[in-house]
Amino acid sequence: MSVTDAIHELIPLLQRAHTLGTIADLLGWDEQVNLPPGAAEGRGNQQAILAAVQHAAASEPRIGALLAGLESAAGALPVEQAAVAKQARRDYDHATKLPADFVREKAVQDSRGYHAWARARAASDFAGYAPVLEKNLEFARREAAYLGHASAPYDYMLDKFDPGLTTATVDRLFGELKRELVPLVRAITASPVAARAREVGERLRGYPIEAQRAFLREVTAQLGFDYERGRIDVALHPFCSGAGNDVRMTTRYNVDQPLDALFSSIHETGHGLYEQGIPVAHLGTALGMHAGMAVHESQSRLWENQVARSRGFWRHFEPRWRERFPSQTAGVSSEDLYLAINAVEPTLIRVDADEVTYNLHIVLRFEMEKKLFAGELAVRDLPAAWREASRELVGLEPANDREGVLQDVHWSGGAFGYFPSYCIGNMMAAQLWQRLRALRPNLEEDFARGDFGWLLRWLRENIHVHGRRISGLELIQRATGEALSPQPLVRYLRERYGTLYRA
Ligand code: ZN
């Protein structure tokens, strides 16, 4: 069988498994947006049956046979087909190398873990949760071993979310970032401007939801989100799912926090624009798949932060904002509004953090995960280690474990190695921003005219259209001409926030 014939037989099999996955995603979206409470159990049943069908499609033996043939002819494969085969191997191994018993046990453990975490968090009782966490770590190590990574389980966890990312790389990038960011945050928060930003933020109250909805719809459409190929709805937690011609975003509204729905929608729009820019014809293969969680996050953060918190952006949108909310904005000056949009305040809780301090929350979690996997930190010592790291990095010490080690859901479901993507994504966004401004020094003038077309086209051509042909780190290196570094992020934060806070 020729290499071309093998690829032509392989692709429909991959796309079938992918399409089944998209149906599961749609059920998940519906569960969070529309599901009547009484239908929850029935939905669980639908999802379990679909997951079994999807797993059978992804572990179809013919895929394995075709891959073996392609791998024996590896040198003869054109670059694109080699990328397709490589990703298919990752997915196939993941579907077939984990014993059925292990998958079943882990599903039970993940669900149990979630409920144990929710109980422990409510009672701020880490001791009751520690055995669950120990078990989750053991499951993670076993999974890594089944996939051939027994000697470096944390590398395996990182690579799962961001192909090619290693502990050593993250360690180096975060170490450098930490040294520069901690003093910058201290200087900003000591500035009298910080208190003013907080005070203005608290004055933004009574913004009717219908007007918020209309405004954010106007903004996200103008940024380039195609509402013919996607939609936005309300859910408890904002997220973005789907790809290509059917992208589903969600947000949530609070009349007294109008910036929250706006910025979380712009964040999800960044994810949505990426998914809408991935070549539809290739969905289900490496050519039609995002390059990893960090690159995904770089897209959401770039639009949310570098773009939508800029002065140029608000030169265009501020008059429109005032038009929609005339009485609410009457006593708020332009400078006050800009300050509220760029408020910085250290907090114990990651999800409440601003874009400057957020990174330190991630560094903290990475340091904990790294030590847990290296056996340098025992689960029972985690709360004390967390408190110490929080004091050192964020400058605040949690009074209890609910505000500390118990605040995030991720570990309860075994999602170790996921956190670093958020901060790596911020670094990537800042490095892309640096490159964009070198290419087009007056980029913010585009924004001031309400024109985001040049920016979106550049991202389409340099990031979106490439799918997963190469790793996220390589993709950013190609797009920016430099290896990923924390320096552009430090420079950007210093330029925007150091100036604003006179720090
Ligand atoms: Zn995101």
What is the CA(206)–ligand 1 centre distance, in A?
27
Long-range Cβ pairs for the range 145-149 (8 Å, 24+):
146/97, 146/98, 146/99, 146/102, 147/93, 147/94, 147/97, 147/98, 148/97
Q: What is the pLDDT of residue 1?
A: 85
Residues 55 and 25: beta-carbon distance below 8 Å:
no
- Out of 71, 105, 218, 268, pick the active-site residue: 268
Which tokens belong to 441? 């020094």
Burial class (CB in 10 A: 0-12, 13-18, 19+), 324: middle
* Alpha-carbon gap, residue 428 to 367, rounded angstroms: 20
Separation of CA 72 and ligand 1 centre (Å): 39
CB 444 within 8 A of CB 310: yes
pLDDT for residue 344? 93
Taking the centre of ligand 1 as the mean of its atom positions, its distance from the CA of residue 350, in whole angstroms, is 13
pLDDT, averaged in runs of 10, over the chain (503 residues): 93 97 95 90 89 95 97 88 96 95 90 90 94 96 97 97 96 98 93 90 94 98 98 94 96 95 97 97 97 98 98 98 96 94 94 94 98 97 97 95 95 96 98 98 98 98 97 98 98 94 86
Active site residue 268: yes
Q: What is the pLDDT of residue 111?
A: 84
C-alpha separations of 244 from 241, 276, 324 in Å: 10, 5, 32
pLDDT tens sequence across 360-393? 999 999 999 999 999 999 999 999 999 999 999 9
pTM (2 d.p.): 0.96
Give me the residue label for tokens 């050519």.
Answer: 287
Chain mean position to CA 406:
20
What residues pack around ion ligand 1 (CB closer than 5 A)?
300
pLDDT tens-digit readout, 138-173: 999 999 999 999 999 999 999 999 999 999 999 999
Output the CA 271–ligand 1 centroid distance in Å: 7
In angstroms, the CA 328 to CA 312 distance is 22
**pLDDT value at residue 253:** 96
Report the separation in Å between the CA atom of 262 and the middle of ligand 1, taken as the mean of its atom positions.
14
Query: What pLDDT, on a 0 to 100 scale, did the predictor assign at position 72?
Result: 92
Number of H-type helices and E-type strands within the chain: 22, 3
Collect contacts of 390-394 with beta carbons under 8 A, ≥24 apart: 390/348, 390/364, 392/182, 393/178, 393/182, 393/360, 393/361, 393/363, 393/364, 394/346, 394/347, 394/348, 394/357, 394/360, 394/361, 394/364
